[in-house]
Amino acid sequence: MVPAFVNSGLFLSLACPQLKRWDARKSRAANGASELSGPPPSTADGRPVLRVHLSSEADVPSARSALRYAYTGDVQAGSIRKALEVRRQAVNLRIEGCAAACMEIVKAKLAEASNDSSSDTSSSPAGEGDGKSSSAAAAATQPRSCPNAAATESPPPPPVLELFSKSLWPEPAMEPDFADVLASAKPLLVAHFSDVLRTLNTRQLRSQLLALPAVAVEALLESDDFGADNESSVLLMLAVWMEANHGAIDAHTRERLCRQVRLVQLSRPYLCSILPVLALDFETAPAAASTAAPAGPITATTSVSVTTISAITGGSGAAAGAASSSAAAAASGTTSTAVSAAAWFPIRGAEAAFIASLATSQPPLREALVAAGRKVYDMTCPWYSLRRRRQCLPATGLVYHWRIPQRELASALAQLAPGGLSCTAGSFDGGFSFISAAGFEWWPSIEYRHGAGEANLGLYSQMPEALQVPGSRFTGPRPAVAVVAGVDADLSVHNWQQEALVDDGVYFSTAKDIWPVGGGRGANVLALRQQPADAAAATASVVARSSVGVGGGALTGPLAAWSDYLRDGEMAGKLTLLPPAPA
């Protein structure tokens, strides 16, 4: 059997029982069909020829393997991806038994991956990476960009990601044999991504997240074992995925995913500022009128049970009312491409306000709100779930290392006019200009005013780019939202005075440190040495030899005052995210 790919077809000489079935099907379709065009019906030696249409030449190996199964009853597939490719061809060719055999290979590969609990996950958190960050000399008040997650070479993906390949994942409703495989794969998928901070702040994992199909993202969102610092970061992760995949999914799928976010557990900034704008975008975006349902209960699509706020009063949460917005979209014939990308989160303003009130209320008001809400909203939906995800921040905190190249600091100081202020931003290991936490993006900055004897170590925040989609109220010269936020964290800079490492730092607590998103807060913790009188004249030579620091020769000029904080050509420090204080 020697197949040849010619004009989108695969021609093979076959001599097996299944050929009779194919010939019979072809005979039934021959009346009025044009499938007999192309090569002659038999070869020179009289063997029959079967023409198989393929989408590309890349499908030839998997089609060959599927047809080989018709002869041997054996599938040759060394990976999950290969097994799925063969399975797809077997389904197209209706080769009996081949698809099931491929699924057995998939199950076996997943079982091997599950048993190999000691293996690494091929990605390390940004806070534990050893690589140098990319240099970024920008003013601290300017928005910072996440680097291209696909810019560096990555190791092969784990088997579970081969299973969740977008190009190979079938429609679950059409492929019931995937149900068992999906159930066994979900824990492996959750274990691979681990938690939301690891996923958003690790270059490779962030790239892998964007490549997941909706069913895989749903598996992460619905899992209690998928860790989070708080639910706002979960909503941000969904926004990051949605920004890249909005046009590839329909309204029903978007709603199914969005309804896995546990909105009553959002932080106050997200409840009071972000969620209302998402609702405004949804209600006012083009085509929203035809896709949005009236306020009322919506049947949630979820495969897991939830602990809901209605349990406070022991209510059943019985729902009666209007159909879901996705059903309304289907009834109206509106496609996902007709809906603005800004309208990606399907919630109305009235329900967003109700959720914010409910989440921030105390008894007896909460019980009254629950009783009233059960008559209007579907409170069995995960939006109202009180079930906590695993806290991903250890008691000792999660550390992210940052650094500022000495040359950047020297350049900023050289350009500083008398009385002027310089702001030099730090970047994180792994090439990230910021880290995501508490639903926002954060980075450190060193601020110095000309002639001062100390410098400020500050922490800055910005609105996530994933929320600033075209057409959203989050965008534009005057965004329609004022947001304040904070984060529980320790920000420190390494002090190498007397060759001993001591960290000078600032502690931030959400109980007292809240500031507008887009700004920063810090303290003058860098005590600078007395600057030489001839510092200005020596500036040029300092810039030229800015790779010299403690342990590599004495610094002169403006950098001499910073010598306690410079080592090996850089200033470095840590941002330690801390778990929230007990309520």
Is residue 494 pLDDT above 70, yes or no? Answer: yes
> In sequence order, what are the residues at sequence separation of 6 or more whose Cβ sits closer than 8 angstroms to the Cβ of residue 528?
452, 453, 454, 455, 561, 562
Highest mean pLDDT among 46-60, 75-89, 156-170, 539-553: 75-89
Q: Rounded distance, CA 90 to CA 298, Å?
A: 39
Cα–Cα distances in angstroms (integers) from residue 167 to residues 9, 114, 170, 278, 308, in the given order: 20, 24, 8, 30, 36
Structure token digits, residue 461: 């925040």
- pLDDT for the residue 323: 36
Lowest mean pLDDT among 160-169, 205-214, 269-278: 160-169
Helix (H, G, I), strand (E, B) or coil at 200: helix
pTM as predicted: 0.77
Long-range contacts: 551-560, Cβ < 8 Å, 24+? Answer: 551/499, 556/532, 557/532, 558/410, 558/413, 558/414, 558/531, 559/406, 559/409, 559/410, 559/413, 560/529, 560/531, 560/532, 560/535
Is residue 11 pLDDT above 60, yes or no? Answer: no
Is residue 129 pLDDT above 70, yes or no? Answer: no
Tens-digit pLDDT profile for residues 249-268: 999 999 999 999 999 999 99
Q: Rounded distance, CA 474 to CA 488, Å?
A: 25
Banded model confidence at residue 21, pLDDT cuts 50, 70, 90: low
Residue 438: which H helix or E strand, with range?
none
Higher pLDDT, residue 128 or 407? 407
Mean of pLDDT values over 544-572: 72
Tens-digit pLDDT profile for residues 373-397: 999 999 999 999 999 999 999 999 9
Lowest mean pLDDT among 147-151, 339-343, 358-362, 482-486: 147-151
Structure token digits, residue 168: 């190979």
Mean of pLDDT values over 313-341: 42
Is residue 93 pLDDT above 90, yes or no? Answer: no
Q: How far apart are the first and last CA of the chain?
A: 70
- pLDDT for the residue 230: 95
- The angle formed by the CA atoms of residues 438, 442 and 444, to the nearest 5 degrees, is 145
- pLDDT for the residue 550: 43
- pLDDT for the residue 315: 36
Is residue 2 pLDDT above 80, yes or no? Answer: no
Is residue 229 pLDDT above 80, yes or no? Answer: yes
Place of tokens 């910005």: 462
- pLDDT for the residue 556: 64
Closest C-alpha among 512, 426, 348 to residue 137: 426
Structure token digits, residue 475: 């965008």
- pLDDT for the residue 307: 35
- pLDDT for the residue 51: 72
Mean of pLDDT values over 510-515: 93
- pLDDT for the residue 155: 64
Is residue 420 pLDDT above 80, yes or no? Answer: yes
Alpha-carbon torsion, ordered 16, 18, 20, 22, to 10 deg:
-130
- pLDDT for the residue 571: 96
Higher pLDDT, residue 54 or 414? 414
Q: Rounded distance, CA 509 to CA 491, Å?
A: 11
Is residue 304 pLDDT above 60, yes or no? Answer: no
Q: Is the peptide bond before 364 cis (omega within 30 degrees of 0)?
A: yes
Q: Rounded distance, CA 99 to CA 508, Å?
A: 56
Tens-digit pLDDT profile for residues 99-123: 889 888 888 888 887 776 444 444 3
Q: Rounded distance, CA 536 to CA 557, Å?
A: 7
Structure token digits, residue 170: 């079938």
Mean of pLDDT values over 307-322: 35
Lowest mean pLDDT among 22-26, 388-392, 538-542, 552-556: 538-542
State the chain's mean pLDDT as an integer. 78
Higher pLDDT, residue 315 or 70? 70
Q: Rounded distance, CA 410 to CA 397, Å?
A: 32
- pLDDT for the residue 478: 74
- pLDDT for the residue 165: 77
Helix (H, G, I), strand (E, B) or coil at 145: coil
Higher pLDDT, residue 301 or 244? 244
- pLDDT for the residue 243: 96
Q: Rounded distance, CA 175 to CA 88, Å?
A: 11
CB 229, CB 266: distance < 8 Å: no
Is residue 294 pLDDT above 70, yes or no? Answer: no
Residue 385: which H helix or E strand, with range?
none
Mean of pLDDT values over 146-169: 65
- pLDDT for the residue 67: 87
